[in-house]
């Protein structure tokens, strides 16, 4: 039974692992004629596998709660073996460390210490290579910090990594669409918004919402409205925001442009993009092969945008022409009919979409003083 549970865990069939462990522990205790020590040993491996399952599926708080309960029981169990206790202790230490880094990152982000937030999320990512959902949250959170620092390409890259680790992560998809809008890559933004709409529809349908209710759902309506606006912008064939891609100001010198390009090109080279994800994984694993392909494709698109930015801005004539056109675009956007300020698609939708989609809108929210998990960073993962 233990081998079967471990095999299911290896296959990442988490619900089946928990179900097997919970169902068989009661049956084993009823039918067992073995000693108390043997019975206790049977409970140990089940408890450990449930904890490990929670951890791997991103439910670190649930895993830690169960580990704490286990510790309270084992304090009076002198017969427990050293090896099993070391396994529990090691897992507990890892989870506490990861949650500590994430909490510190969230706190720094709230206090607008964005560089510190990046460091804390990076520390959590460096420590973790097993819990894919937790890594996805850390990448998406770090993307928010990079965005606040004006490092948009770094933020896009992190969102891409979050999305390959968790293809249903709505916040990462929405954030990357916003970031693509910021650099005026409206084609890519539209692709992400279509993906977002498809997932919202799927999640809402799985939750039992009728088509009539679904069509009126505010998140879905906003996503569709946003997509129409982005598609309209895409038809204008507006050039990319080259300065934002390199993370520099329009007043930057040629030396600054060259330095920024070298840094961005080295950081986002397609061949290096998936290194952090696969450093401790088996290269022949089918999942990671697919991940490597997707990450490479996303990085290649970003790398080409970086190259285009340098190609234009490093040439004095091309840069001058681009700056003139950019100034005209900005002047046109400043004033619309009636003297009201023009707002770009990303300005209109970024604020509301940073909240993301709540797949359980019919349930009551937390207390009014709590911070939304969709605002800026994720406090937890579900």
The DSSP line for 33-87 is -S-HHHHHHHHHHHHHHHHHHHHHTT-HHHHHHHHHHHHHHHTT-TT--HHHHHH
Give residue 20's pLDDT band: very low, low, confident or very high (50, 70, 90). Answer: confident
Distance CA 57, CA 360 (A): 20
Listed range (43-52, 120-129, 142-151, 191-200) with the worst mean pLDDT: 43-52
pLDDT at 364 over 90: no
- For 367-378, write each residue's pLDDT tens digit: 333 333 344 667
Give a yes or no: residue 319 inside a domain.
yes
* 66 shares a domain with 5: yes
pLDDT at 125 over 50: yes
Distance CA 321, CA 64 (A): 58
Distance CA 275, CA 292 (A): 9
Distance CA 123, CA 142 (A): 11
Give residue 239's pLDDT band: very low, low, confident or very high (50, 70, 90). Answer: very high
First and final C-alpha spacing in the chain: 29
Domain count, the chain: 3
Helix (H, G, I), strand (E, B) or coil at 348: helix
**Angle made by CA atoms 80, 21, 83, in degrees to the nearest 5:** 25
* 199 shares a domain with 269: no
* 88 shares a domain with 23: yes
Give a yes or no: residue 113 inside a domain.
no
> What is the reported pLDDT for 314?
97
Give a yes or no: residue 298 inside a domain.
yes
Give a yes or no: residue 47 inside a domain.
yes
**pTM greater than 0.85 (yes/no):** no
Distance CA 360, CA 287 (A): 29
Which 8-state DSSP code applies to residue 334? H
Give the residue numbers spanning the domain of 224.
185-237
Give a yes or no: residue 103 inside a domain.
no
User: Given the structure tokens 């993009």, which residue do they identify?
Assistant: 273
Q: What is the mean pLDDT of residues 81-104?
A: 84
Which of 32, 4, 34 lies closest to 20 in space, CA to CA? 4
Q: What is the mean pLDDT of residues 264-293?
A: 72
CB 120 within 8 A of CB 100: no
* 262 shares a domain with 216: no
* 319 shares a domain with 268: yes
Give a yes or no: residue 317 inside a domain.
yes
CB 223 within 8 A of CB 193: yes
- For 160-217, write each residue's pLDDT tens digit: 999 999 999 999 999 999 999 999 999 999 999 999 999 998 887 776 666 555 555 6
> What is the reported pLDDT for 151?
96
Residue 301 belongs to domain with CATH number: 1.10.287.110
Which of 39, 46, 53, 99 lies closest to 70 in space, CA to CA? 46
* 293 shares a domain with 233: no
Give a yes or no: residue 274 inside a domain.
yes
> How many CA atoms lie less than 13 Å away from 309 in the CB half-sphere?
31
Give a yes or no: residue 336 inside a domain.
no
* 301 shares a domain with 226: no
Nearest-Å Rg of the Cα atoms of the chain is 25
CB 238 within 8 A of CB 184: yes
> What is the reported pLDDT for 100?
95
Distance CA 55, CA 44 (A): 17
- For 330-357, write each residue's pLDDT tens digit: 888 776 545 555 555 445 544 443 433 3
């Amino acid at each position: 039974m233990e081998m079967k549970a471990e095999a299911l865990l290896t296959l990442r069939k988490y619900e089946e692992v928990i179900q097997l462990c919970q169902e068989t522990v009661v049956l084993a205790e009823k039918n067992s004629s073995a000693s108390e020590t043997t019975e206790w040993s049977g409970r140990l491996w089940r408890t450990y596998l449930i904890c490990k399952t929670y951890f791997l599926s991103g439910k670190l708080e649930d895993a830690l709660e169960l580990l704490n309960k286990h510790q309270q029981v084992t304090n009076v169990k002198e017969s427990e073996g050293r090896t099993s206790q070391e396994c529990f202790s090691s897992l507990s230490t890892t989870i506490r460390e990861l949650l500590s880094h994430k909490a510190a990152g969230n706190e720094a982000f709230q206090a607008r210490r964005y560089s510190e937030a990046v460091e804390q999320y990076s520390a959590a990512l460096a420590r973790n290579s097993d819990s894919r959902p937790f890594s996805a949250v850390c990448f998406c959170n770090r993307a928010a910090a990079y965005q606040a620092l004006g490092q948009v390409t770094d933020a896009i890259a992190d969102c891409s990594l979050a999305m390959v680790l968790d293809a249903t992560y709505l916040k990462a998809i929405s954030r990357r669409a916003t970031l693509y809008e910021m650099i005026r890559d409206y084609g890519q933004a539209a692709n992400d918004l279509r993906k977002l709409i498809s997932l919202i529809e799927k999640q809402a349908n799985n939750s039992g919402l009728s088509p009539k209710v679904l069509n009126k759902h505010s998140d879905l309506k906003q996503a569709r409205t946003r997509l129409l606006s982005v598609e309209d912008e895409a038809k204008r064939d507006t050039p990319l925001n080259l300065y934002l891609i390199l993370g520099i100001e329009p007043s930057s010198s040629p030396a600054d442009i060259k330095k920024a390009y070298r840094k961005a090109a080295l950081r986002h080279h397609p061949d290096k993009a998936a290194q952090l994800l696969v450093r401790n994984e088996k290269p022949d694993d089918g999942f990671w092969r697919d991940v490597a392909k997707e990450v490479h494709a996303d990085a290649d698109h970003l790398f080409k945008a970086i190259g285009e930015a340098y190609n234009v801005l490093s040439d004095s004539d091309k840069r001058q022409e681009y700056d003139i056109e950019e100034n005209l675009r900005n002047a046109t956007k400043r004033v619309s009919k009636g003297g009201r300020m023009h707002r770009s698609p990303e300005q209109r939708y970024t604020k509301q979409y940073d909240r993301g989609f709540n797949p359980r809108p019919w349930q009551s929210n937390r207390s009014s003083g709590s911070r939304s998990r969709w605002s800026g960073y994720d406090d937890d993962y579900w």
